[in-house]
Structures are given as C-alpha cells and as structure tokens.
Structure 1
C-alpha cells in the first residue's frame, strides 16, 4: 500500500513539474517577438508623424504667403491713401483761400470726391509693384496756369496723368472753373471732365490768392 501511494506521488509531482517548466528557447523567442512588435509600432508611429510634420511646414508656408499678401495690400492701400490726400491738399492750395471761401461747398461735395475717384482708378490700374514709385508732382505755381498736379512715375521718369483746372467764360453766364485731366495713353490730347464749379459774372482772382 505504501509503495502504491509512493508511485502515485511521483507521477503527480512529475506532471506538475512538466506543466510549470518553460524551455529557455521559448522564452528567448517570445522576447524577440515582443521586441519586433514594439519596433514595428515605433516605426509606424514615426511614419505617421512624418506627414504631420510635412503638413505643418506647408501650413507655415501658406501662413507666411498670406501674411506677405496682406502686408503688400496694406502697403498699397497706404500709398493710394497718401497720394489721394496729397491731391486734395494741392487742389485746395491751387484755388486759394479767396476762391475757396466762395465755392467751397461745390468743391468739397463734387470736385474733390471726383478727383479722388479718378486718381484711385488710375492707381488701381497700375502694377501693384509699381505703386511705391508713383508720386504727385509739385503744385502748379502760375497765377493763371491750369496745372493742379501731375501723377508721376519716378522709376521711368514719365508723367501718367495731368490734373488741371481752367477758367471758362460763358456768354451771359459768367465764369466757371472746369476741372479735368489728361492721360499719357493718348499723349495728353483728350480732356476728361471731372466737374464744373460756377464762380460769378465778375472775373475770379488769381489762383492761390489769399
């Protein structure tokens, strides 16, 4: 009886030992497999990150281009506003205080807005890269001359447009101030009307009279 129990005990211990034993080769293989999976996952994450890096660079380039475009737009807007303001100042100076005192309402409501509109139209027709080279020429100083100002290209040293005002005497009506401009496109031959302002039947004073 004791011998039988002893044999059974030996068999049970053997079975338990076999179940718990893991060969070293299996452990090494499992470790290598886990490492391979881990390396594969790391490589996959790196590959997945690469498109994001490219997208980020493209996004930065787009943002930079947009900022440059807005900067150019702001710069051109500033140039147009500055030239328009100078044109208005020259027109008022050309007429002078004595004339302005009498015709200010018509000049402010009709002539100046029309001059600004024409000037801005001409500036928008120019190459945006060229705007920074445009300027308003000196105010015409002749007491009876027509010149108010000219739009000038400093780069080519050529005039683009001429803004003038002349005195027109109409029979039985009196004197009018005719504002107009000429363009280089037709060698300044054509008169393009800006507007007319009535003065009086009496002769108006010289330009810039105070």
Structure 2
C-alpha cells in the first residue's frame, strides 16, 4: 500500500472517531527490507473503519481518498454553525467542482508520482482561508490549494467564496469554484 495512503487512512480514522479506537498495526508499520518499524509515536486512538482492499490503480485510490478528505476537511473547517446552514449547497455545487479539479490534477501525474502526493492534515480556523492543500511529499511543495474566504459585497450580505490556487501560476490567480450566500449577519469564525 502506498505510504501516502497509509498516512491518510490513519488521519482519516483519527478524525472520524475523535481518537477513540487504536489504529490497526498494518497501517502503522513500514516495510524496510523485511524489518517492521512503526513511525506512529502519537498515542492518538483511531477507529478501524478503513477503505479495505481497494484493488484499483493508485490514481483511483488517490481520487477516492482525496474526494473523501475534501468533504471531511471542508466540514471540519465550517464548524457546526456554518455547516448546518450551507451543507446541502456545498455538497451539491462546490464539492463536485472540487472533485473535478482533483481528477484533473491526478491526470497530470504518472503512477510513481501519485505515490508522493499527500493532503494536508488540518484546515485553519479563525478568519484564514485554508481548507486543505495537496502537496508532494518528495519535495514538500504545494501543488494545489483549496481555500474559502468570506466576502461582503456592498448591501448584499456575506458570501463564502470557494476557490483554489495552483503551482502553475505560483498560486497567484484565484480559480473560482463558486459562492454560497450566508446572510446579512456576520458569520462565525471558521471551526466554531
């Protein structure tokens, strides 16, 4: 199993169970010429609900995991107050566009390069924009960044502007995914 998939599954399981179940040993072990070592030093407890026996190529595995993580990290960023209001519209409008961007990203890499792609572990709270980034574990550099910001056009109220940035233009241009209306009232901070 690719290293990025193991790490992502450990993070996913931890997030889903709020740390209540121990991780399976096969996700924590690294195979180094026959020697088994663990690189998991955190005592976090994790659930064992895992995407089992995915028998597809690494691009398909990456797409499945990335789209799942996109939804999970987005809702973690929203927090319960915001998620309650925008959940349906996000799932119907924004999430499919995120999936399209991730799929087009996967087409740019060969099977070997896919093994080095990873998804950032935590969205940022407060007023910052980061939902998640996809980066290369080989170079440590971001490839695509998914963000959301709060916009307030005059006399219209607040909108959540979903967009992404790519390494191709040095993360300068905003590529729109869409906007969701909040209300005229100020929205709470992210992750609240």
Which ranges in structure 2 are unaligned for 5 or more consecutive residues? 1-53
2:141 paired residue number: 158
Q: Say which SS state the counterpart of residue 84 (structure 2) adopts.
A: helix
The answer as to whether partners of 1:133 and 1:155 remain within 8 angstroms in 2 is: yes
Encode CA deviations 1:78-131: one digit per residue, 9 max, x unaligned: 122112211111011111111011111211100111111111111122222211
1:16-31 equivalences in 2 (<5 Å): none
1:42-191 equivalences in 2 (<5 Å): 73-191=56-174
In the TM superposition, residue 74 of structure 1 has moved relative to its aligned partner by 2.7
Which ranges in structure 1 are unaligned for 5 or more consecutive residues? 1-70
Q: Say which SS state the counterpart of residue 64 (structure 2) adopts.
A: helix
The answer as to whether partners of 2:130 and 2:148 remain within 8 angstroms in 1 is: yes
The CA distance in 2 between the partners of 1:141 and 1:159, in whole Å, is 16
Q: Which runs of 4+ in 1 moved over 6 A?
A: none
In the TM superposition, residue 73 of structure 1 has moved relative to its aligned partner by 5.0
Higher helix share: 1
The CA distance in 2 between the partners of 1:169 and 1:190, in whole Å, is 20
Q: Say which SS state the counterpart of residue 104 (structure 1) adopts.
A: helix
Q: How many residues align?
A: 139
The CA distance in 2 between the partners of 1:176 and 1:76, in whole Å, is 34
82-91 or 191-200: which moved more? 82-91
Encode CA deviations 1:141-196: one digit per residue, 9 max, x unaligned: 23110000111100121110111000000111100000000011111001000110
The answer as to whether partners of 1:88 and 1:116 remain within 8 angstroms in 2 is: no
- Indicate yes or no: 2:177 matched with 1:194: yes
145-154 or 104-113: which moved more? 104-113
Q: Say which SS state the counterpart of residue 176 (structure 2) adopts.
A: strand
- RMSD over equivalenced CA pairs, Å: 1.6
